Each structure stands twice: as C-alpha cells, then as structure tokens.
Amino acid sequence: MPRILVIEDNDAVRRMVGRVLVDEGYEVQEAADGSAGLNAYREQPSDLVITDIVMPDTEGLETIRELRRHDPSARIIAMSSAGGSGPAGYLELALKFGARRILTKPFTHDELRTAVAEVLARDAGGER
C-alpha cells in the first residue's frame, strides 16, 4: 500500500485530502508545515508527497527543493490557490523545482485521485 505524506497548514484541507486518500486505500501521514513534513520524510520516506505552497515556517517551494535535495527521485504534487498571479506562478515554479503534478485549489476529490494515481502509476516499478 503506497504511503502518502500530506503537507498542508490548513487543518480542514489537510484532513479532507487525507480522508480521500485513506478511502482510496493509501496509508497517509500528515504534517502541518514544511519543516514537520521534511522531518517526517527524512524519518520515513513516502511514495508520494503532496504539499501546499503557501505555508508559514518552511513554505512549499523550499520544501520541494529540500525534498529533492534529500531524495532526487521524490515524487511530489504541489497544490495552491488560484487567486492572483502569486499562487498560480508558484505552481509553475513548483514544476520547475521538481513537482510532478500541480493541483489548483479548490480541486475536486476526483482531480486529487487522478493526480495521485497518475504520479504513482507513471513511476510504477521504479525507485522513489
């Protein structure tokens, strides 16, 4: 069963994402910010990381950069709100920093399921 680490500072969003993934049969670990997420990944790497971009403490782009530095094969999905040019631009940067997919909030449960399945399937049989 693939393990997914969800890094999101908004409790409601983090719980919703976790619940959808658990319902799909994934093992889910949650972290409330990038720093906690990085520590969790270092202790026990996940098959996939889903991270918010705009967070206090260690923000998402820095989190992606550090994850990729620690594990160049880390599979990452970045998520952020669409409002304004900032978050949308951050998602494009997330792809350049190594995210394999992006999700614009709000996203549907189906969009989440599809993104996760595609990233995990694309790399099936390979290393993290």
Q: Is residue 98 part of a domain?
A: yes
Q: How confident is the model at residue 123 (pLDDT cuts 50, 70, 90)?
A: low
Structure tokens at 92: 């494009």
Strand order in the sheet with 101-105: 27-31, 3-7, 48-52, 76-81, 101-105
- Domain containing residue 49: 3-122
| CATH number of 113's domain | 3.40.50.2300
Q: Is residue 42 part of a domain?
A: yes
Amino acid making up residue 6: V
Q: In the prediction, which pLDDT does 23 show?
A: 98
Give the tens place of pLDDT for each residue, 49-100. 999 998 888 889 999 999 999 999 999 999 998 554 555 688 889 999 999 9
Whether 127 has a pLDDT exceeding 60, the answer reads no
Q: How far apart are CA 123 and CA 128, in angstroms?
A: 8
Q: SS3 of 12, please?
A: helix
* Number of neighbours of residue 89 by Cβ within 10 angstroms: 12
- For the residues 98-108, what does the mean pLDDT come to? 95
The length of the chain is: 128
Give the tens place of pLDDT for each residue, 7-48. 999 999 999 999 999 999 999 999 999 999 999 999 999 999
pTM over cut 0.95: no
